[in-house]
């Protein structure tokens, strides 16, 4: 299984994804991710803009999914923006 940690950015079929599941969970062949898209409509707090290297991408929170770790290739880490990613998931799940 590929070693991915929370807030790693990985490519899946040409799309950037950010890993959001906790590092405390036991290993599993799948990992929960949210796509990072350049042309996704942003809603305040639900879809923050995430800086990945020289790009500004929108967190497409409603497109949350699980993908096979073996299908992902790590490209970056955005742990410095973890608070706004967690807030987006909270908005999606609880509306606050």
Kindly state whether residue 1 falls inside one of the protein's structural domains. Answer: no
Kindly state whether residue 63 falls inside one of the protein's structural domains. Answer: yes
Encode pLDDT of 39-81 as tens digits.
Answer: 999 899 999 999 999 999 999 999 999 999 999 999 999 999 9
Task: Quote the pLDDT of residue 3.
Answer: 85
Kindly state whether residue 34 falls inside one of the protein's structural domains. Answer: yes
What beta strand segments (E) does the chain contain?
A: 8-12, 15-19, 30-37, 49-52, 55-59, 65-68, 73-77
Query: What domain range is 29 assigned to?
Result: 8-94
Instruction: Tell me the pTM.
Output: 0.94
Closest listed residue to residue 42, CA positions, set 63, 59, 25: 59
Closest listed residue to residue 2, CA positions, set 12, 92, 94: 12
Whichever domain contains 29, its CATH number is 2.30.30.110
Q: Considering the chain, what is the average pLDDT of its residues?
A: 95
Task: Quote the pLDDT of residue 2.
Answer: 60
Domain count, the chain: 1
Residue 1 has pLDDT above 60, yes or no: no
Kindly state whether residue 33 falls inside one of the protein's structural domains. Answer: yes
Kindly state whether residue 2 falls inside one of the protein's structural domains. Answer: no
82 token code pair: 């973890």
Kindly state whether residue 3 falls inside one of the protein's structural domains. Answer: no
36 token code pair: 């990072």
């Amino acid at each position: 299984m590929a070693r991915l940690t929370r807030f790693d950015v990985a490519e899946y079929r040409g799309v950037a994804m950010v890993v959001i599941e906790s590092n405390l969970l036991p290993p599993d062949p799948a990992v929960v991710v949210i796509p990072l898209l350049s042309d996704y409509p942003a809603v305040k707090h639900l879809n923050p803009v995430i800086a990945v290297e020289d790009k500004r991408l929108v967190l497409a929170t409603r497109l949350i999914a699980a993908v096979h770790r073996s299908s992902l290739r790590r490209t970056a880490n955005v742990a410095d923006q973890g608070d706004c990613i967690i807030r987006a998931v909270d908005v999606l799940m609880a509306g606050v």
